[in-house]
């Protein structure tokens, strides 16, 4: 059996998509008047937010899960694993340097953009060429996924930096869901593919 995706990464792939959604749902529901369509997820962890500790904890969990994936998914090539780890560290950074509800924090934006960019670029950086690997991480699959994630990332970043945009919360949530679910799907596919030789 190919030990391509080790148990900690498999567990992270299960928890990751769930905690991403659960974090903003729980925190948002505890903040009367919070508008998930207009406001960002980061607003939930702003200094003025009444639910800052809750959302900050979910951010830290998400960053930690990314680092676990980077450490325990050798099926991904090293540049991809490094990008996922740095994305996790950037999530720590955007949590420490929280955004204000009025105006913006430059360090927060730098860490947030770094996280979103690397969370879209990792499929390309993780690409494998050997046919023993599943198609999802070979050139066609990796490049296609990177293009789609990049387009959505650019749409979100354009929306986020547009003061007149009224749906930035929706754009950010679509991107966050897409990024976390795609990483989870890749890990599940690679884990299953790595087990097949032992079953034959």
What single string gives the DSSP state of each residue in 139-195? HHHHHHHHHHHHHHHHHHHHHHT-TT-S-HHHHHHHHHHHHHHHHHHHHHHHHHHHH
Q: What is the pLDDT along the chain (200 residues), one digit of tens a residue?
A: 568 999 999 999 899 999 999 999 999 999 999 999 999 999 999 999 999 999 999 999 999 999 999 999 999 999 999 999 999 999 999 999 998 888 778 999 899 999 989 999 999 999 999 999 999 999 999 999 999 999 999 998 888 888 888 899 999 999 999 999 999 999 999 999 887 755 44
Q: What end-to-end distance do the CA atoms of the chain give, in Å?
A: 10
Q: Is residue 200 classed as helix, strand or coil in its secondary structure?
A: coil
Model's pTM, two decimal places?
A: 0.91
Domain ranges (residues) in the chain: 7-189
């Amino acid at each position: 059996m190919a030990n391509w995706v080790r148990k900690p990464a498999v567990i992270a792939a299960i928890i990751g998509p769930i905690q991403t959604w659960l974090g903003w749902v729980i925190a948002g529901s505890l903040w009367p008047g919070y508008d998930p369509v207009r406001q960002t997820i980061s607003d939930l962890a702003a200094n003025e937010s009444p639910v800052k500790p809750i959302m900050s904890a979910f951010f830290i969990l998400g960053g930690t899960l990314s680092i676990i994936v980077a450490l325990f998914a050798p099926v991904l090539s090293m540049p991809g694993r490094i990008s996922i780890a740095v994305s996790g560290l950037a999530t720590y950074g955007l949590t420490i340097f929280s955004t204000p509800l009025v105006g913006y924090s430059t360090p927060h934006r730098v860490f947030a953009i770094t996280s979103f960019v690397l969370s879209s670029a990792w499929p390309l950086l993780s690409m494998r060429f050997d046919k023993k690997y599943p198609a999802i991480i070979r050139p066609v699959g990796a490049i296609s996924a990177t293009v789609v994630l990049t387009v959505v990332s650019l749409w979100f970043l354009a929306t986020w930096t547009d003061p007149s945009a009224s749906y930035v919360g929706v754009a950010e949530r679509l991107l966050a869901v897409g990024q976390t679910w795609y990483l989870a799907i890749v890990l599940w596919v690679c884990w299953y593919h790595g087990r097949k030789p032992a079953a034959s």
